Amino acid sequence: MAKTPKFGLKQSADLFKHVPLIGYKGGRGGAKSEDVATYLSLESNTQYSHPLLILCGREKLNSIDDSCKALIERKLFELGIISNYHITNKEIIHKTYGNKFIFKGFGLHISAVKSIDAVNICWAEEAQDLSQKTIDVLPPSIRGKGAKFICTWNPELPSDPVERWFNESAPEGTILHTVNWRDNRFFPKELEIQRVALEKADKERYLHVWEGHYKSASNQCLFTLTEIHESIERTPNFLEIPKVASLDVARFGDDASVLAIKEGDHISYIQEWHKLDTIQLANAVAEVIHNEHIVAINIDNGGNAGGGVIDVLKRLVGHMCNVLEFRGADASTLDIYTNKRTECYYKLQDWMKKGKLVDNKLLIDDLSTVLYDFNTSGQRFLLAKDKQKKLLGRSPDCSDAVSQLFDPALRPKKEKRQHYTQVGWDG
């Protein structure tokens, strides 16, 4: 005999609504996956005019053991209906109604998943990992009768494709809930012990893991998401000011060399290059300088990686473009900052109140993880890049390049004055 289902979240009632897209995001212990699995178990035990096809997956699914199959089986057992199903290594099929669960990895098999016909419900676990390609391809393929797409995730970064999907391009009728441990009526004592321990040990990590904040969410974050997005959406003001550029040169194999261009109140252009040697990078940058009519460029040489690029560029474009050296560790022009890198980032923050940023995912992620503090003298400084690298999984090359655009030394090449001899007439 079937048992009465238990949902930890009151927001889970929306799972039964006929809408195309539903999302549940938040930290650990929020019962997101538990409740979705309960809902799908109930749906699969209901007779419809046609057998349901329920696709459960995540971006990376190396084996069936990585899937939610075990969770679905546990829910069927808890509901007292598991005997109604035929369970194989890859599928769960209702013996009477023919309703079927299948489990896939979207990223590795997107073409195969796309070709699956008549999926009625798709559940994307760990949706923070969904690629833009999956979001572009998969949802239109979920076109069975009463088609519904469900996403559950713990937020990572604000520019993750799933975040932008729900916030910027979700279909009409979409439902999105933010739920955390305190919303779960059945939050277990065992998890409460873990929660309290992390809150005491590492407040910043606690906010991400348990409260569902972005990895960068911190009172010490220099740029707010609101500021970033308002700047991106702003109409640019072209002030007939010559274009200037900045280049952050890769120091290691996995880092990117990034070029940023500013024209008037618009940071309009970002380009990356990977694994180029000094000559190759200098030639690529010189081509952009010629094509975009750049009058000055700042090149980071803090770790001496940019020295060779600077020398080559001076030979290639020095006659038309002021090629400057930038060292972030150098002293700031203002006493309130510990170094030039900090000064440039703060000037970028001030500029964003009126300027327009280019819409670039890597730049958004970089900016949303810039953390600051004050030293004992009251000076402002940025926390070590190693902390950003840990959050991002890479170096913040894009934001470093953009910040260098606000170095006070970045100026057009001075024109040489021409001297003329005035010739007059005596009579």
Exposure of 95 by Cβ count < 10 A (0-12 exposed, 13-18 middle, 19+ buried)? exposed
Count the domains in the chain: 2
Tell how strand 296-300 and strand 322-326 pair up: parallel
Residue in the structure block whose two tokens are 């703060």: 346
Domain for residue 282, yes or no?
A: yes
* H-helix or E-strand spanning residue 320: none
143 and 235 assigned to the same domain: no
Domain for residue 147, yes or no?
A: yes
Q: How many other C-beta atoms are found inside a 10 Å radius of the C-beta of residue 326?
A: 26
For residue 83, what is the domain's CATH number? Answer: 3.40.50.300
Residues spanned by the domain of 376: 225-406
Identify whether the C-beta of residue 401 lies closer than 8 Å to the C-beta of residue 247: yes
171 and 81 assigned to the same domain: yes
79 and 139 assigned to the same domain: yes
Domain for residue 316, yes or no?
A: yes
Domain for residue 217, yes or no?
A: no
Instruction: Report the alpha-carbon angle 402-403-409, nearest 5.
Output: 110
Domain for residue 47, yes or no?
A: yes
Domain for residue 76, yes or no?
A: yes
Return per-residue pLDDT of the chain as tens, 427 residues: 678 899 999 999 999 999 999 999 999 999 999 999 999 999 999 999 999 999 999 998 877 777 899 999 999 999 999 999 999 999 999 999 999 999 999 887 676 676 677 889 999 999 999 988 899 888 887 777 778 999 999 998 877 889 989 988 899 999 999 999 999 999 999 999 999 999 999 877 888 899 998 876 556 788 988 889 899 999 887 667 899 999 999 866 667 899 999 998 999 999 999 989 999 999 999 999 999 999 999 999 976 678 899 999 999 999 999 999 999 999 998 999 999 999 999 999 999 999 999 999 899 989 988 988 888 888 899 988 877 787 777 889 999 999 999 999 998 866 544 443 443 333 3
Residue in the structure block whose two tokens are 């000011």: 241
For residue 261, what is the domain's CATH number? Answer: 3.30.420.240
39 and 140 assigned to the same domain: yes
CA–CA distance, 144 with 53 (Å, rounded to integer): 8
179 and 84 assigned to the same domain: yes
Domain for residue 32, yes or no?
A: yes
177 and 255 assigned to the same domain: no
43 and 116 assigned to the same domain: yes
Domain for residue 113, yes or no?
A: yes
Instruction: Report the alpha-carbon angle 333-382-259, nearest 5.
Output: 75
The set of residues, in sequence order, having a beta carbon less than 8 Å from that of 15 and lying 6+ positions away, is: 22, 35, 36, 39, 150
260 and 388 assigned to the same domain: yes
